[in-house]
Amino acid sequence: MAQLQIGADQAVWEQICKKVDTMMLNIGSKSPHVAGDDGIYDDLRLDAWTSGFWPGILWIMYDMTGEKRYKEAAWPWDERMEQLFIQENRFSHDVGFQFLPTAVIKHTLTGDTEASRRGLFAANFLAGRFNLQGKFLRAWGEEKIGWSIVDTAMNLSILFWASKVSKDPRYHHIAKAHADTVIEHFIREDGSTYHIVRFDPETGARVDALGGQGDAEDSAWSRGAAWALYGMTNAYTYTGDSKYLKAAQRVANFFIAHLPEDSVPHWDFRADLEGGQIPRDSSAGACAASGLLDLASLLEEKEGRYYLAAAKRILDSLYENYGTWNDSSHEGMLIQGTGHKPADKNVNVSLIYGDYYFVEAIAKLNGWKHRIF
């Protein structure tokens, strides 16, 4: 198997440690999503899909350093989030993003039984969104009954985890069924991906695809590709089914082949040129790099080193060209993230999930073993 270059990024890790300590002072108990021109992270409700990433960073820091202050800061997040389940809330298909880096890793690292219960509760919630006819997990709410999105590939891990800890195969079956749908309906032959696919909720038949956060229906939203790359890699890790590994490689090959010169992706690989410049998405780069590290580790050395080298190039560029290491007033870690370009929302900003996946990837290169996605 391809071996990660453990310890090779120690200097980068030390910068991360310094930055996270500053972030702890600035962010505190906020639930951040976006830091704009002023460099100050916002504070959203705990049912926002991004609420797990900041405590997820803290749990990684605790696991890597053993320093209790990180554990103490991360500890209450899953408890706080659970309280919203008994109120009117906006929880949806993204409970994996919320409870994997909080309750699940908390249970993994500490054995806390209440954290395990909360993780299983979130898995049950996600399983309840499964459409049996179409074999997909429903996205969002309201009138979007037959909608599913590529992001959900990343949330499957909480179902696989739930099946393992509960010894109940139902979660595994649902996760695998949705992963099959991702391969059939979301990943194109060339390895690019759709963001949104609509199904008839009664018959399960595919209706059409929508551009969503991509430039168009037939475009190639880079973060969507990162979700699929990483999500299919995880599906293979949990199942050992080679079709998921092959799907992950197909998306990875497309992603790598379409990277610009500095290896940090544009927000959409097929976006039209706007005023001579297409916005980047550092969050897509960070997520893809973390997924590529896992993909590389699952392959034989000769094959895996291609993906390992690509991940390193992305991470090196993010560190050198997109980091805020010398700006203590900026609460984010990476700049030039793109949230939703078609809506002209959150363009050229810091995104907490971009920060999370960068920390996660560098932690992997420095020996972190407790993979949670």
Catalytic residues: 94, 151
Strand pairing of 196-199 and 345-351? Answer: unpaired
Report the number of secondary-structure helices (H) and strands (E) in the chain: 14, 8
**How many angstroms separate the Cα of 319 from the Cα of each of 120, 183, 225?**
36, 32, 21
- For 27-65, b/e burial (b = at least 16 CB within 10 A) is beeebbbbbeeebbbbebebbbbbbbbbbbbbbbbbbbe
DSSP at 334: B
* Percent composition of the chain: helix, strand, coil (DSSP 3-state, to 5): 55, 10, 35
Asked whether 285 and 232 are in contact (CB, 8 A), the reply is no
Q: Measured between alpha carbons, how far is 28 from 12 in angstroms, rounded to an integer?
A: 23
Which residue reads 């954290």 in tokens?
115
Provide the 10 A C-beta neighbour count for residue 105: 27
Beta carbons within 8 Å of 6's beta carbon, 6+ residues apart: 365, 366, 367
- Indicate the SS3 state at residue 35: strand
One-letter amino acid for residue 184 of the chain:
E
Which residue reads 């900003």 in tokens?
349
- Indicate the SS3 state at residue 306: helix
Q: Measured between alpha carbons, how far is 16 from 359 in angstroms, rounded to an integer?
A: 7
Residue closest to 224 by CA, chosen among 261, 246, 196: 196
**How many angstroms separate the Cα of 263 from the Cα of each of 131, 296, 304, 319?**
38, 17, 18, 12
Asked whether 235 and 176 are in contact (CB, 8 A), the reply is yes
